[in-house]
Chains A and B, each alone.
Chain A
Amino acid sequence: MNKAPAARKGGLFRWGALTPLILALGFLLPVLLLQIYLSVHQWTAYLGPWWAAQFVGLDLFREVLTEERFLRAVARSFIFAGASTLLSVLVGFGLAYLMQDPFRGRSFYYMLFIIPMLTVPVVVGYNFQMLLYESGPVNHILSLLVPGEVRISWLGHPVAAFASLVLIETWNWTPFVMIVMLAGLVSMPKEPVEAARVLGASRWQIFAHVTLPLLKPVLVLTLILRFLEALAEFPKFWTLTQGGPGTFTETIPVYLYLTSWDYFNVSKAAAMSYVVLLFVGVIIYVCIRALLRQKRALDIMFAQEGSGR
């Protein structure tokens, strides 16, 4: 008599959990299937309907993987994402560390620090374009700080343009890192830090051997999220450089945009997307494995501490 409602409850729970998944799949699957279809057919949008496109098998994947332009775009994207992620994590973590204990005006600083993240990327792009002219405010301020007139072509010189984009991305997304890390720091158990302090550990030792290991899962998650976000960054590149000067800031999103919306070579763009998806998938897999390893290590550590007591 009692089993029937329990079974009904279990069934309801299962369906409740499965329904969003089924809906998500139902929504995504047609797109993914269409993309697979397109990536094995040669469809150029203006040359005819997609259903009449010629089957080319894996030719487009081969073309993409052996294309110097694509591989260069991948390299630029990874360098950009890696550098901006590292910088924003370093600065963001630093800010979070400074902000973790209450102090007068903390809310004001918090608000101030998150402003960049709240700014629309396209607006960020246009604003920095104005700031970075050779005769613009940034060079003007630098000229006041150093002897002689600073005339760096921030967006005209290939290396400077790339570095500028990295710095702008860092400025834009450091607040995100700060918020996540701050949440991690605040929710961290206080006992291990207290214990280390009682045992006479220095601030650096506490940071390096207690805080950092405890924060590692949050840190790794932040790194993954930030890296993936940076890998997909498009608005700043498009508003600031459009892939230039020359081809020095042509990253994966820029090249994808050009391929699909300038060249209308939708099939090649689909193949490129899958290749990128594969790269990103591998990165996520490696990161999740690392995250799980960290979690297991922490679980063991806490279990040992628990049994020691």
Chain B
Amino acid sequence: MRRRIFLKDALAMGTLAATGPFVPRKARAQDVQKVIPEPGPDELRIIESAKKLNKNVDLSFMAWGAHAKGQMEHLAAAFKKQTGIGLGSIVDIGFAALSQRAMAEALARSGKIDLLHVHADTVPTLATAGLAAPLDDYMKAAKFDYRTVGTFADMSRLEGKTYGFVTDGNCHIYLVRKDILENPDNQKRYADKYGVRLEMPTTWKEYLRQGAFFGSDPNTMTGFGSLRARRWGYWWFLINYYNHGLFPFTGDVEPNFDNDVAEAALEMYLAERPHVIRDFDNWGTAQMWPHVGTGRAYQSIYWGGLLPLWESPEKYPQVAGKWRVGVVPGNVLPDGKRLVRTIQAGAPLVVVNRYAPNLDAAAHLAMWWTSPRNSTYITGGPISTVHEPWRAEHFKDAYNMKVYTRPGLDAMFLSLQVNSPSIRVTGALEFNDLLDRHVSDAWLGVVKPREALKRVDADWRTVIARVGKARLKKDIESYRESMPTVDQPVVS
């Protein structure tokens, strides 16, 4: 008996000892964790509409696991209780393989997957392939309010129809090391050298100059902490490209890269190279995060969702509390207009499988997830969130304010207003990859910038011929609609 009591006590003590150190941290995360919100008018309308379907189904969701786990699961369980429509299984797919698996499903037409997470720029391809179902009728039935900051929602639209809903405001913000920027010695040295005050850059020229200044010895500090890897780097080129007021297609569906302005944009992109370490030439996000987090980059343009990670004293004490954040610098066009453009990169969107036997139920669950209150519950996470804010409501949420900080949320809000998509037409993956391929070669110095752009044009022409100009013309109209409507963000 005494032995059993001893063993029980020992077990309890052991458990406490093992978990004890984690309890306060976990509790800290929990105390700011939101509870599932009470349904508001929007949510109630979705519930009412879903009840009319009179279904009792458990849907399957092919998603990047990190996205679907947690809040989305909790909400699906709540929806199940209310309507009988829930989530049965999650097929966990790697972030980089989402598009391929979605296309495989489009070809298989199995209907076994009801909901799919996809990248926003693949919507035209998936709609053309017949996989993504238009959701407008369901939206109308539930009077679904699908609005985002800026034109973010338009990334899920094609020819006026809505093919999915955003679940993550993946938008690039600008981060600069406040401690370096505000250091009096640095300010003096900088002013002495350039005759201008050292302050947060608002032009690309100033951004590049500061990067060159602080990244003069990349082995100790790099001037820039943005990606240049094959398959990812072109997103950052597109930021420069859009900032020059350019659009990738001309009115008659011809590629628009082989010109002086695009060359200037590419030169701007390439100007970072002397001030980064050589590993950058082939680095992906997994390598870049700790690089920036351990204080080896003066400034960076990256997903706003990384801010909680880099502001975490537990994860990255080297840089926590040392960031100033905002929107990317802008460019003054020849007509004197100042233009600011940032980019959405890999924004997951929930689409509904047209071949799913429970298409209507799936559409309702997708709306449920992205409704104003529920999507607020989904956004945020204690560290390195993969659900960044995108609705106006998300920016007023107390929890998000704790996770992202007020300046962080402001930076995201401003950035979303001038957020542009990557190439989003039918065949997007091919267009994007061909662009990336030649930009990568230019980054290495294997080809001259203009030659790289000529090659982009040449390669794109073959894709345009294959996809067909008539189809692309319609896609391009939708693409243009998803571009920002303001030249620079408006502080509200």
Q: Is B383 an interface residue (CB 8 A)?
A: no
- Asked if A134 and B278 sit within 8 Å, CB to CB, the answer is yes
Once bound together, how far apart are the Cα atoms of A169 and B280, in whole Å? 23
B161 vs chain A, min Cβ distance (A)? 17
Known: A244-B229, A244-B231. A158 touches B444 (CB 8 A): yes
B53 at the interface (CB under 8 A from A): no
A70 at the interface (CB under 8 A from B): no
> Once bound together, how far apart are the Cα atoms of A277 and B184, in whole Å?
66
Binds A, one of B134-142, B359-367, B424-432: B424-432
- Within 156-201 of A, Cβ neighbours of B (below 8 Å) are at 156-158, 161
When the two chains form their complex, are residues B278 and A247 in contact, meaning their CB atoms are under 8 A apart?
Answer: no
Tell me the bound Cα distance from A261 to B94 in angstroms.
14
A155 at the interface (CB under 8 A from B): yes
Asked whether, in the complex, the Cβ of B279 is within 8 Å of the Cβ of A264, the reply is no
Q: Which of B230, B437, B443, B446 gathers the greatest number of chain A CB atoms within 10 Å?
A: B230
Residues of the B chain whose Cβ atoms lie less than 8 Å from the Cβ of A158:
444, 446
Contact A265 B466 (CB under 8 A): yes
B128 proximal to A (CB < 8 A): yes
Distance in Å: Cβ of A251 to nearest Cβ of chain B: 13
Inter-subunit contact A157/B281 (CB<8 Å): yes
- On whether the beta carbons of A46 and B466 are closer than 8 Å, the reply is no
Closest CB in chain B relative to A70 CB, distance in Å: 13
Chain A minimum-CB-distance residue to B440? A246
Say whether B283 faces chain A, with CB atoms less than 8 Å apart: yes
Query: B231 touching A46 by the CB < 8 A rule?
Result: no
Chain A nearest Cβ from B471, distance in angstroms: 8
Q: Which of A243, A248, A264, A265 has the most chain B CB within a 10 Å cutoff?
A: A264
Q: In the complex, which residues of chain A have a beta carbon less than 8 angstroms from the beta carbon of B283?
A: 156
Contact pick for B281, options A46, A243, A245, CB 8 Å: A245
Are the C-beta atoms of B430 and A242 separated by less than 8 Å? no
B453 contacts chain A at the CB level, 8 A cutoff: no
Q: Is the CB of B279 within 8 A of A265?
A: no
Return the chain B residue nearest A133 by Cβ. B279
What B residues does A42 contact at CB under 8 A?
A: 466
CB closest chain-B residue, reference A132 = B279
Cross-chain contact B433 with A247 (CB below 8 angstroms): no
Q: Give the chain A neighbours of B230 by CB distance below 8 A.
A: 241-247
A143 to chain B, nearest CB (A): 13
Task: Determine if B440 and A244 form an interchain contact, defined as CB atoms under 8 angstroms apart.
Answer: yes
Q: Which of B277, B446, B466, B467 contacts A153 (CB 8 A)?
A: B277
- Cβ contact within 8 Å between B440 and A247: yes
B99, B279, B429, B441, most chain A CB atoms within 10 A: B279
Q: Which of B70-78, B100-108, B298-306, B331-339 participates in binding chain A?
A: B100-108
Residue B125 lies at the interface, judged by CB distance under 8 Å to chain A: yes
Bound CA span A133–B429, Å: 29
Within residues 434 to 487 of chain B, which ones have a CB less than 8 A from any CB in chain A?
437, 440-441, 443-444, 446, 463, 466-468
Whole-angstrom distance between the alpha carbons of A247 and B106 in the complex?
30
Chain B residues lying within 8 Å of A263, measured Cβ to Cβ, are 427, 429-430, 433, 463
Report chain B residues within 8 Å CB of A157: 278, 281
Prevailing SS type, chain A contact patch = loop
C-alpha gap A273/B346 in the complex (Å): 30
Range, interface on chain A: 20 to 34
Determine whether A47 belongs to the interface, using a CB cutoff of 8 Å to chain B. yes
Instruction: Report the separation of the CA atoms of residues A248 and B426 in the bound assembly, to the nearest whole angstrom.
Output: 28
Asked whether B29 is an interface residue with its Cβ less than 8 Å from the other chain, the reply is no
- A46 near B106: Cβ-Cβ < 8 Å: yes
In this complex, which of A245, A261, A265 has the most chain B Cβ atoms within 10 angstroms of its Cβ?
Answer: A245
**Identity of the chain A residue whose Cβ is nearest the Cβ of B106 in the assembled complex:** A46
Q: Decide yes or no: A44 and B466 within 8 Å by CB, A246-B440, A247-B437, A264-B103 being known contacts.
A: yes
Given the known inter-chain contacts A42-B466, A244-B230, please indicate yes or no for A155 contacting B282, CB distance below 8 A.
yes
Q: Is A262 an interface residue (CB 8 A)?
A: yes
Considering the chains assembled together, what is the distance between the CA atoms of A47 and B467 in angstroms? 7
- The answer to whether A244 and B282 have CB atoms under 8 Å apart is yes
Q: Is A258 an interface residue (CB 8 A)?
A: yes
In the bound assembly, the distance between CA atoms of A44 and B106 in angstroms comes to: 13
Cα separation A161 to B278 with both chains bound (whole Å): 12
- Cross-chain contact B229 with A242 (CB below 8 angstroms): yes
User: A46-B125, A153-B279, A263-B433 given as contacts; is B231 within 8 A of A242 (CB)?
Assistant: yes
Residues of chain B from 93 to 137 with CB closer than 8 A to chain A in the complex: 99-100, 103, 106-107, 125-126, 128-129
The interface residues of chain B lying within 8 Å CB-to-CB of A215 are none
A296 at the interface (CB under 8 A from B): no
Binary contact readout A13-31 vs B (1 if CB under 8 angstroms, 0 otherwise): 0000000000000000000
**Interfacial residues of chain A within 22-72, with CB under 8 A of chain B in the complex:** 42, 44-47
A247 to B438, CA, bound (A): 8
Question: Hey, which chain B residues are within 8 Å of A261, CB to CB?
Answer: 100, 103
The CA of A261 and the CA of B437, in the complex, are separated in Å by 16
Q: Is A151 an interface residue (CB 8 A)?
A: yes
Q: Are A45 and B107 in contact, with the CB atoms below 8 A?
A: yes
Q: Distance (Å) between the CB of A104 and the closest chain B CB?
A: 44
Contact residues in B for A47 (Cβ distance below 8 Å): 128-129, 426, 466-468
Q: Residue B427 contacts which of A46, A153, A244, A245 (CB distance < 8 angstroms)? A: A46
* A80 CA / B446 CA spacing, docked (Å): 20
Contact present for B279 and A246 (CB under 8 Å): no
- B56 at interface by CB-CB < 8 Å: no
Closest Cβ of chain B to A218, distance in Å, is 38
| Interchain nearest-CB distance for A41 vs B (Å) | 13
By a CB distance below 8 angstroms, the chain B residues around A244 are 229-231, 281-282, 440
Given contacts A45-B106, A155-B282, contact A246 B446 (CB under 8 A): yes
B444 A262 Cβ-Cβ under 8 A: no
In the complex the two chains form, what is the Cα distance from A244 to B229 in whole Å? 7
Interface residue from A45, A156, A242, A248 paired with B278 (Cβ < 8 Å): A156
A37 to B364 Cα, complex, angstroms:
41
B348 to chain A: closest CB distance in Å? Answer: 18
Q: How far is the CB of A122 from chain B (nearest CB, A)?
A: 11
How far is A156 from B445 in the complex, measured between Cα atoms in Å? Answer: 13
Are A161 and B282 in contact, CB atoms less than 8 angstroms apart?
yes
- B19 touches A (CB below 8 Å): no
A247 surroundings in chain B (CB, below 8 A): 230, 437, 440-441, 446
Does B89 have its Cβ within 8 Å of any Cβ on chain A?
A: no
CB-CB < 8 A to A155: which residues of B? 279, 282
Interface centre among A46, A151, A245 (most CB of B within 10 A): A46
Query: Can you sample 7 A-B contacts with CB below 8 Å?
Result: A46-B126, A153-B277, A156-B280, A246-B440, A247-B230, A247-B441, A264-B430
Q: Which residues of A line the B interface, CB within 8 A? A: 42, 44-47, 129, 133-134, 151, 153, 155-158, 161, 241-248, 258, 261-265
10 nearest CB pairs, A to B: A244-B230, A153-B278, A46-B129, A156-B281, A263-B430, A246-B444, A245-B281, A245-B282, A246-B441, A134-B279
Q: B residues touching A (Cβ–Cβ < 8 Å)?
A: 99-100, 103, 106-107, 125-126, 128-129, 219, 229-231, 277-284, 287, 426-427, 429-430, 433, 437, 440-441, 443-444, 446, 463, 466-468
Additional A-B contact list (8), CB under 8 Å, known A153-B281, A156-B280, A157-B278: A134-B278, A151-B278, A153-B277, A242-B230, A244-B229, A244-B230, A245-B282, A262-B429
